[in-house]
Amino acid sequence: MELDSIALLVLFFSGLMAGFVDSIAGGGGIITLPALLAVGIPPHEALATNKLQSSFGSFTSAFNYARLGLMKPKELIVGIVFTFIGAAIGAIVVQYFKADSLVSFIIVMLVIIFIYTLLTPNLGSNTSTHKMPKNLFYIIFGLAIGFYDGFFGPGTGSFWTMALVLLLGLNLKAATAQTKLFNFTSNIVSLVVFIYSGLVIWVAGLIMGVGQIIGAFLGSSLVHKKEVKFIRIFFLAIVALTIVKLIWQNYF
């Protein structure tokens, strides 16, 4: 599929904006998927290409967060491995089932996350004690959220962030940093499946990927400098937009 220069420019800037947003609070797909569809890319190819470009952003964010000392990948090997396994299973299973059946459940879960975060102003402000052993947490949630991201995807970052804050006691900065590493893991698994299926439009994905790298670097650097309150507001905004997008897309 050939895209003109205007379409490629639109995709580049949508990738840049999404990379910035996604590195702070997740939800970059709210920007990129509609952009891919808007320039005339068919739905299945748009989903596949979206995974390619988002992998650039999640990798850049994770790398920068590690460089800035907000997380240490070596300490998260268990989470990476089980997220990989979960995402691989999800990406295979989704080929036999319709993901649409999950929409109502996901909307309800995101509404609960939004309300809980809104009514808990100090959530994630400080590090607290963890509620379950770390390795057990990474095994269970790596498999569960990894599977979900491979199978469907919207809200993955929000689910990771809240689980890390509530069950491991991380502050929002550290939780956001770890989330991007796990997002990158599940993105790569899904991307490999889509590449095997021949659905990726490489030019569009790579152009957006360049934008993602720039946006993700700027966003993750900003998180390092800002207070947790800023991240909380951004997080609430993105969760709200994700809820609205899912409702509009599936019920109107």
228-251 vs 29-38: helix axis angle to the nearest 10?
A: 40
**Three-state DSSP state, 133:** coil
pTM of the predicted model, to two decimals?
0.85
Mean pLDDT of 174-179: 93
Mean pLDDT of 92-103: 71
> For the chain, what percent of residues have pLDDT higher than 70?
96
Burial class (CB in 10 A: 0-12, 13-18, 19+), 247: middle
Structural domains of the chain, count:
1
- Check residues 207 and 232 and name the one with the higher pLDDT: 207
Task: Say what the alpha-carbon torsion angle 183, 113, 48, 55 is, to the nearest 10 degrees.
Answer: -20
pLDDT score, position 228: 67
d(CA 157, CA 62): 13
CB 170 within 8 A of CB 163: no
pLDDT score, position 101: 66
Residue 166 scores a pLDDT above 80: yes
Q: What is the pLDDT of residues 48-92, one digit of tens each?
A: 898 899 999 999 999 999 999 999 999 999 999 999 999 999 888
Which among 6-15, 20-29, 30-39 has the top mean pLDDT? Answer: 6-15
pLDDT score, position 235: 84
Range of the domain at 82: 5-251
The H-or-E segment that residue 33 falls in is helix 29-38
